[in-house]
Amino acid sequence: MHTVIQMAALRAAAQAVAAITYGAELCKLSLDGIEVRGAEARGGDILGDIAVWVSGVAAIDRMRFGSPAGSGWTYDFDYDDDQRYDLAAAAQLAEEADPKDERDLLYTAWVWATDLMADESAWASIEGMAQLIEMAAPPVEHKGEEEED
């Protein structure tokens, strides 16, 4: 069983690797996700933006099921809140960029993201970055635990 923090770190790490792959300049990386420096930093590539959103979803699916399969695999339609938020944001970007869905941007980004998760070198980078994000995260206080002197 993976913790919420582990899943958040993996989501952020996958988004970061996807953004860097598309040439983005990161200005924030945390358990909350990533922030990039404006469209100029990523060349205004809408497919890259959509791929960043869905990469976190694909990474969590790979972590849950361990499958390195690529090219659009889908295992879990019982997404958590972060995954649903990311998919909705990606769908909104795709709809705004291609209202008639002539380019099928969401599907194209999903296939790219799942192929990235299937790449063992990329996956090792994502896992390593996720561990660093977890280590840099502030400690979480648990209710009901007593503090030691």
User: Quick one: tokens of 64?
Assistant: 């849950």
8 Å CB contact between 56 and 15: yes
Task: Give the pLDDT band of residue 26 (cuts 50, 70, 90).
Answer: confident
Task: Give the pLDDT band of residue 149 (cuts 50, 70, 90).
Answer: very low
Give the pLDDT confidence of 2-12 residue by residue, as tens digits.
788 998 999 99
pTM assigned to the model: 0.81
Sorted by sequence, the CB contacts under 8 Å of residue 45 that are 6+ apart come out as 22, 23
Give the pLDDT confidence of 80-100 residue by residue, as tens digits.
788 889 999 999 989 998 888
Which helix (H) or strand (E) segment holds residue 27: the answer is strand 26-30
Give the pLDDT confidence of 31-57 residue by residue, as tens digits.
888 887 754 444 457 888 899 989 999
